[in-house]
């Protein structure tokens, strides 16, 4: 493998990260924002896994046959990060459902126009 492959992987990772960040910033739909966060998380996974695998490296089981070993720690950490990412996405989707029930929309601009809704649990002067 040529020396530029590592730099290419980092370039791809940065491109994916910027794509996810752009989606989060530029889109007003809350579901699209969650998709953007998922894409951004994927770039973080790639950032950690890319240097963790060595070409020709094997699992770190000591043997006379192998001289190059891959570090398993980044892979284990990414498995944990994937589980946390799925749980975070599920929580985000649950919040979007609640926002939709309270405001009738999942568009950020429309929610901000409505302001705080009495249906969301605030007390107005007519309720006192």
Picking from 90, 117, 110, the residue whose alpha carbon sits closest to that of residue 28 is 110
Tell me which CATH code domain 4-120 carries.
1.10.287.3510
Q: What is the mean pLDDT of the chain?
A: 83
Where would I find the beta strands (DSSP E) of 44-106? none
Long-range CB pairs of 87-91 (<8 Å, 24+ gap) are 88/37, 89/34, 89/37, 89/38
Where would I find the beta strands (DSSP E) of 1-128? none
User: What is the pLDDT, as a whole number, of residue 119?
Assistant: 55
Report, as an integer, the average pLDDT of 41-57: 82
pLDDT digits (tens, 9 = 90+) for 56-103: 777 777 778 877 777 788 888 899 999 999 999 999 999 999 999 998
pTM of the model: 0.75
pLDDT digits (tens, 9 = 90+) for 77-86: 899 999 999 9
Picking from 40, 67, 52, the residue whose alpha carbon sits closest to that of residue 32 is 40
Domain ranges of the chain: 4-120
């Amino acid at each position: 493998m040529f020396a530029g492959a590592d730099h290419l992987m980092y370039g791809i990772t940065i491109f994916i990260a910027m794509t996810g960040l752009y989606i989060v910033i530029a889109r007003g739909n809350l579901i699209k924002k969650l998709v953007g966060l998922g894409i951004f998380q994927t770039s973080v996974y790639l950032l950690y896994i890319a240097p963790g695998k060595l070409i020709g490296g094997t699992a770190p089981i000591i043997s006379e046959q192998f001289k190059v070993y891959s570090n398993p720690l980044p892979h284990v950490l990414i498995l944990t990060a994937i589980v946390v990412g799925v749980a975070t996405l599920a929580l985000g989707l649950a919040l979007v459902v609640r926002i939709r029930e309270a405001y009738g929309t999942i568009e950020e601009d429309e929610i901000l126009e409505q302001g705080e809704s009495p249906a969301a649990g605030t007390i107005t002067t007519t309720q006192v």
